[in-house]
Amino acid sequence: MPQSPPTTPAKRADAERNREKILSAARAAFAAPDADASMAEISRQAGVGMATLYRNFASRRELLEALYTDEVDALVDAAAAHEDAPAGDALFAWLQRFFTYFSSKRHVASELLEDSGDSNPVFGQNRARVLAAGQPLLAAAQDAGEIRGDLTLEQILDLVGAIAKLPGEASYVEPILMAALDGLRAS
Amino acid sequence: MPQSPPTTPAKRADAERNREKILSAARAAFAAPDADASMAEISRQAGVGMATLYRNFASRRELLEALYTDEVDALVDAAAAHEDAPAGDALFAWLQRFFTYFSSKRHVASELLEDSGDSNPVFGQNRARVLAAGQPLLAAAQDAGEIRGDLTLEQILDLVGAIAKLPGEASYVEPILMAALDGLRAS
């Protein structure tokens, strides 16, 4: 990564802040489907120069991959955060988080797919991380008899992902998600 | 339609048989994703000459539209066939039929979409017919208190269609469908 190493704590903090400002501007740009998500516009919105932008992310693709991985980090952290809730509730809260993640990452993921194809290792690696993070939640909810035992986490995430891909407003799609989640309860 | 009107009952029956043979060969060709579904191969499989094929269907697109409409006819008929079953069972049986229809029509529909775009009226018309056919089944099942009342038929069909689009073997996808259908039951 062509990022020159900052030498003092103040410079390191500055560099970290710039990186965060860029990621946050890029996240906002990709959340609005019609927004201009060019590198120039992202640098403008982040309030950093193009040189700083490219020092942090050598290419648009590198920025996209960082955005994508950041979302997965948040999702993986969320799995740990719910550990103290009752097993079924913890799983449902995390699945709803997955739904939001899946809905919001779509523009980033589809541009990455176009640019680098299915074979970009970022997809497989992150999928494996998501499955590993959710697996203990599902196992606990199944052990507690709260969630049906005949589906794997992969099947459940495919179901939630398929619903997240449906076109339509949240008021149309969310009741569909609620019904599907109810279907996961052990009867 | 450039089909010369048969003059005697025997000729009419012949013509009808040829049309059925062509549709059946085309259906089989499209059911196998890697099969050769060219007009030449369909005429060979149907055992009719190219002239007869083109007399029935002036273009490949006309054949695709006929295939598509035929599938919808079968689905609409199936809604009526279940009318005597208990309301919840009737709806579920029909939704499973819809799932099969949706899985099998995909190659036909995607080729039609490529060829004629979203705006081909065959899609809107047939969607309206499917909704009209299923609506009484849903209303009866909701009135009987067997199916949750907070989803419309459009939402339910979008859910089933999204599952039908998932990649994977039937043994992977069908348990997902079963869970989603369970989620439709009134709790």
pLDDT tens readout for residues A25-81: 998 888 776 767 889 999 999 999 999 999 999 998 899 889 888 888 989 999 988
Mean pLDDT of chain A: 87
Could you tell me if B179 lies within 8 Å of chain A, comparing CB atoms?
Answer: yes
Chain B residue at shortest CA distance from A184: B179
pLDDT in tens, B152-180: 999 999 999 999 989 889 999 999 999 99
CB B135 within 8 A of CB B153: yes
Instruction: Provide the token pair at A74.
Output: 């948040």
- Amino acid (1-letter code) at residue A18: N
Q: Please report the pLDDT score of residue B97 as a whole number.
A: 92
* Contact by Cβ (8 Å): B77, B97: no
Model pLDDT, residue A113: 67
In angstroms, the separation between the Cα of residue A149 and the nearest Cα of chain B is 11
- CA separation for the pair A99, B43 (Å, rounded): 47
User: Length of chain B, please?
Assistant: 187
Q: Which residue has the tokens 């060979």?
A: B44
Chain B hits for A174, Cβ within 8 Å: none
Asked whether this complex has an ipTM greater than 0.85, the answer is no
User: Best mutation site among B156, B159, B169, B177 for testing chain A: the one with the most A CBs within 10 Å?
Assistant: B159
Q: Does A170 touch chain B (CB under 8 A)?
A: no
What A110-117 contacts at long range (C-beta under 8 Å, 24+ apart), as own/partner pairs, is A111/A64, A112/A61, A112/A64, A112/A65, A112/A68, A115/A61, A115/A64, A116/A61
All residues of chain A having their beta carbon less than 8 Å from the beta carbon of residue B166 are: 158-159, 162
Distances, alpha carbon A99 to alpha carbons A118, A129, A177, B171, in Å: 21, 16, 9, 24
Q: In this structure, what are the phi and psi dihedrals at residue A185, rounded to the nearest 5 degrees?
A: -65, 140
What number is the average pLDDT over the span A86-108? Answer: 87
Judge contact between B19 and B72, C-beta under 8 A: no
pTM above 0.90, yes or no: no
- The residue among A22, A110, A116 whose CA lies nearest residue A66 is A22
Q: Residue B3 pLDDT > 60, yes or no? A: no
Mean pLDDT of B38-65: 93
CB contact at 8 A, A140 and A85: no
